[in-house]
Amino acid sequence: MSRTAISPDVLASLNDAQREAVLHFEGPILVLAGAGSGKTRVLTTRIARLIEHHGVDPRHILAVTFTNKAAGEMRERVARLLGEEPEGMWAGTFHAIGARMLRREAPLVGRTASFTIYDEDDSLALVRRMMEQARISTKEWAPKALRAEISDAKNALVTPEEYAARALHPVERAAAVVYPLLERALRDANAADFDDLLVLPVRLLEQHAERLADYRRRFQFILVDEYQDTNRAQYRLISLLGGEHGNVLVVGDDDQSIYGWRGADIRNILDFEKDFPAARVVRLEENYRSTPQVLALANAVISANTSRRGTTLRATRGAGETVTLVGSLDERDEAEFVTTELLSRRAADETLALRDIAILYRTNAQSRALEDACRARAIPYRLVGAVRFYDRREIRDLVSYLKLIANPADDEAFRRAVAAPRRGLGESTIEQLAARARAAGIPLLAAAGRADLHDGLRPAQRQALIGFAALVTRFRARATDAAVDELLLQLIEEIRFEDALRAEGKDGLDRLDNVRELLTGAAETVIDEGGELGLTPLDHFLQRAMLVTDFDRQDKTADAVTLMTLHNAKGLEFPLVFITGLEEGLVPLSRTHDAPKELEEERRLFYVGITRAKRKLFLSPIRAFLGLVSRFHFGHMRRQFRHRGR
């Protein structure tokens, strides 16, 4: 495919602010992009213009997106504008970019190129093990709480030593003991958790000046989407890479900063000009998504916040329906109204598909009544943010085998794989093996293959361990150049995984469907990513599996109503939107009343929900009776007085 010049019509179709951002060449620029203002179009057109008009080699461009799916769509749109693929351009999420850097530089951060990425469950299991090792009671301190403390510290680039020096609260002191143990265990397992995918690249660039210089030469133009949701580590990575040449374009909307609880720092976008004094600021305020009625409500809601740059959305669409506020008696009545209304609208408008409808709520616990109502009326629906595909038991079991095949030092993968299917190896046997492995300074897999470390075990247990180690060794040899779907199929047959699932009855048959989907995904990964960076197809598959999100897996062609939290709705749009559960205690959460910063974030979250609606928006609070609001919450009837005037 030969490169073609960007059509003049493309630039002509942009509004003045969009065109200003696209035509900007060198130097820093902050694009404040309101909801529905066409920021993706600006990003892709700018990349295409850098390549086609300014002659920038795609290899010198780094584009950071919010989701892996967005990165793929960005590449496709740029390719359409240019008439060819932007070969060599790096595009992906912060975590995907970080993982890619670490694959190249693994020895400099104490890993090999085939390191394993630990997801949240893997990390939590490792924290629990480190707590047991340090004799910290898991009843006194929840492993999840310590994991959260350590994660926050990592994302703020606080080292174990610095954290220990600052630890004052008892939970912090407990986390301070676990933090260095966790870091050492990850290194010994040749593994990295999600936080490491951000922290280790920063450490790499800070500690190795020659690598920093190389990456600065490589990435001469940097574009970052959703900049308002960056944390300290992400901010530091961009400032290191782009701080010298300053060719950094960040796009964001401080009014949509909704991840403060996850470490995002709104100051990164509010103070951009302090970091880049020469920065140009462009505001995208023309909204191409929603009706004037929806935008009037959105502007009114967000105007109450004080920590904002101040963008005001202007509608480009004609007038539409008014926003409807509906009071319900309880969550069942609310669900009945929502399903009745959406069916009525579908009957009145044959062009309205189920995929055009979203039902939003504050917490996942609120979905139950809505799901019950959808099932009762035979309304197909998809639940976003439930059990992630790669978190399902049967998928985790098989992926643990693949992780161990790729990385024999991964003890967490060993513990799961050796128990699926069961081999007569109980927890006490594995702990006995683990103690001997630690004493010998070797991973569990290596210990399983050594008969001299099996003293005291029954003959059947010894045979099971040696057989398991031999199985992994055989598949490790096959994995060097085998397609992942073929490797996985051979593995499933050899361990008789299908037989084990069928023995579970109907649930097992449902799990088999998920296994087939895993095989399909494995085949697609080989097609999409084979050969990049010289790694094995298995390494690529595992990286993709660990970084994929529910958002990335969404099938836009499936005709089903979407149920999701307000947080998960960010970046999406629907012709018809219902926002449910709009009473105090849920929106906003009760804990935010005496915390102005958190209350502003709750207001931004509501703003995000409102601006998902293109044509019609319904708002549904539970109606107060004698000043009381009633809703079942976490299995209990919650009653509280409704405040007025907020």
Task: Please pick, among 612, 614, 616, 631, the residue that the annotation labels catalytic.
Answer: 612
CB 32 within 8 A of CB 284: yes
Task: Using alpha carbons only, give the angle 198, 199, 201 rounded to the nearest 5 degrees.
Answer: 75
Active site residue 612: yes
Question: Omega into 380 within 30° of 0, i.e. cis?
Answer: no
* Structure tokens, 26: 């060198």
CB 82 within 8 A of CB 111: no
For 251, the enclosing helix (H) or strand (E) is strand 248-252
> Which residue is associated with the tokens 């060719």?
247
> Which residue is associated with the tokens 């958790």?
193
Task: Please pick, among 3, 19, 20, 40, the residue that the annotation labels catalytic.
Answer: 40
* Structure tokens, 278: 């020469």
Active site residue 490: no
For the chain, counts of helices (H) and of strands (E): 28, 18
CA 68 to chain centre: 9
* Structure tokens, 504: 């579970």
Supply the angle between the helices 209-218 and 196-207 in degrees, to the nearest 10: 110
Report d(CA 448, CA 444) in Å as an integer. Answer: 6
Please, is 274 exposed, middle or buried when counting C-beta atoms within 10 Å of its C-beta (0-12, 13-18, 19+)? Answer: exposed
Report d(CA 171, CA 189) in Å as an integer. Answer: 26
Dihedral sign (CA 300, 303, 308, 311): positive
Task: Please pick, among 45, 116, 234, 256, the residue that the annotation labels catalytic.
Answer: 256
Residue type, 604: R
Count of Cβ atoms closer than 10 Å to residue 1 Cβ: 8
Task: Please pick, among 183, 193, 226, 583, the residue that the annotation labels catalytic.
Answer: 226
Report d(CA 496, CA 221) in Å as an integer. Answer: 51
Task: Please pick, among 39, 147, 283, 355, the residue that the annotation labels catalytic.
Answer: 39
Active site residue 536: no
Residue 33 β-bridge partners: 284
CB 425 within 8 A of CB 464: yes
Active site residue 256: yes
Residues 6+ apart with CB under 8 A from 42: 14, 18, 21, 22, 31, 33, 251, 284
Active site residue 226: yes
Please, is 446 exposed, middle or buried when counting C-beta atoms within 10 Å of its C-beta (0-12, 13-18, 19+)? Answer: middle
Task: Please pick, among 183, 225, 253, 336, the residue that the annotation labels catalytic.
Answer: 225
**3 state DSSP class of 312:** coil
Active site residue 366: no
Mind telling me the catalytic residues?
A: 39-40, 225-226, 256, 612
